[in-house]
A and B are shown apart, each in its own frame.
Chain A
Amino acid sequence: MAEKPRVATASLCGCFGCHMSLLDIDERILQLVDLVIFDRTPLTDIKTLGDCDLGLIEGGVANAENVEVLREFRRRCKSLVAVGACAVNGGIPAMRNQFSLAECLHESYRDGIGVHNPGIPNDPEIPLLLDQVHPIHEVVAIDYFLPGCPPSADAIWTFLTRFLEGRPIAFPYTQIHFD
């Protein structure tokens, strides 16, 4: 028997809601672990990425580390999926694009209500922020899009089962929503 498909996931500038929605497939997760091998993902806590058949990306691109992780996923994964509103169009984090990065940092760390010890964090370990938050298709090529904030467990399940069975990706009307 051919080896099972390898699946990796990552959360970039998201809230982990899409990963929670993936876990919301409930007991179907037992079917899923029979069907695939999980590579790097917050679910396994594996930190290094191997060659994979499928990569699921939650969240948009907001800092230098997001860019690096996303590019590595693109190199390693045969198919890459934008999962959720933030990956698809930047989502809520991209609302900061209405302001300059300096305005955002000043509001958060210097001038905002309730700020103590004002000062913008500058530890070299903190990834540098990009001037704007971008959807992931603006940084690398994306094969599939799964909208929703988050996409429902059923929508994720529809995608996974159809993908793994090699069937065309299509969803019932009620599984596609932008919110």
Chain B
Amino acid sequence: MNKTFTLDGREIHFETGQTIMDAALAAGVYIPHLCHNPEFAPHGSCRVCVVDIGGRQVSACTAAASEGLQVDSSSEAIQATRRAILQMLFVEGNHVCPACEKSGACQLQAVAYYTGMLAPHFTHFFPRRPVDASHPDVVIDFNRCILCELCVRASRDHDGKRVFAISGRGLESHLVIDSPSGLLGDSSFAAGDKAAHVCPTGAILPKGRGYETPIGERLYDREPINIIGDVRAHEEEVV
């Protein structure tokens, strides 16, 4: 039997067990997301995929699709909520886009553009976080980490390595690396790992390849993320 729910007035088919995000992706309808990647178990941490169902706000990547739901993903109220969530992500870290190699092809930035975020609005934390350049092939800049746990999931569930984990609670949460020194260079991490290719921000970057694409030709320079799709979908092109 064909089951459907309504997303912004459009009928979306789904199968039992699918989330709202799964069904929307399968139908080619974009719902903004950062911590979601269909290759891994949903995490529901970034909240950027928030949608409204009958006055309740839920994350589309973890909410089960069910018959007859009326889902609002595009009203100004929902976009404003997403903007506020993004603004919090920006002020919690240090995002100096003009000095970031990921700029123009960064999913965090692209989702911010998509929702119409022009400025961070809140007071900046300016946290002091390190940059770990100990690995020969990959650099990790903790200033840009949004704690989406995609690298954690990729290393654990795909690479079978558990190189990354989140440690601490609340504001103290931070990404840690499993090695005697805590440095990436002393871990079993390799540039070919899945975990090296899933970060939605410029936190995990390959070395020796900065600023290769001219401004104007980068992934999200000309068209928005709802048309271009995730960074993930374009990874193979650049590797």
- Interfacial residues, chain A to chain B (CB-CB below 8 A): 82, 85, 88-92, 94-95, 97-98, 132, 134-135, 137-138, 142, 145-147, 149, 173-174, 176-179
Contacts and interface: CB of A to CB of B under 8 A. Distances in A.
Given A173-B223, A176-B118, A91 B96 contact: yes
Contacts of B128: 98
**Contact residues on B (Cβ < 8 Å of other chain), bracket:** 20 to 34
B98 A92 contact: yes
A92 B99 contact: yes
Per DSSP, chain B at the interface is: loop
Secondary structure at the A interface, as helix, strand, loop or mixed, is: mixed
Contacts of A82: 119
A89 B98 contact: no
Contact of A85 (B97, B104, B121, B215): B97
B40 interface: no
B90 A89 contact: yes
Interface in B106-129: 109, 112-113, 118-121, 123-124, 126, 128
B95 interface: yes
Nearest to B109: A178
A132 B126 contact: yes
23 contacts: A82-B119, A85-B96, A85-B98, A88-B118, A88-B120, A89-B96, A89-B124, A90-B126, A98-B128, A137-B121, A138-B124, A145-B119, A146-B118, A149-B97, A173-B113, A173-B223, A174-B222, A176-B113, A176-B118, A178-B112, A179-B97, A179-B98, A179-B104
A85 B119 CA distance: 9
A179 B100 contact: yes
A161 to B, nearest CB: 17
A90 B103 contact: no
The 4 closest A-B pairs by CB, nearest first: A145-B119, A149-B98, A178-B97, A97-B126
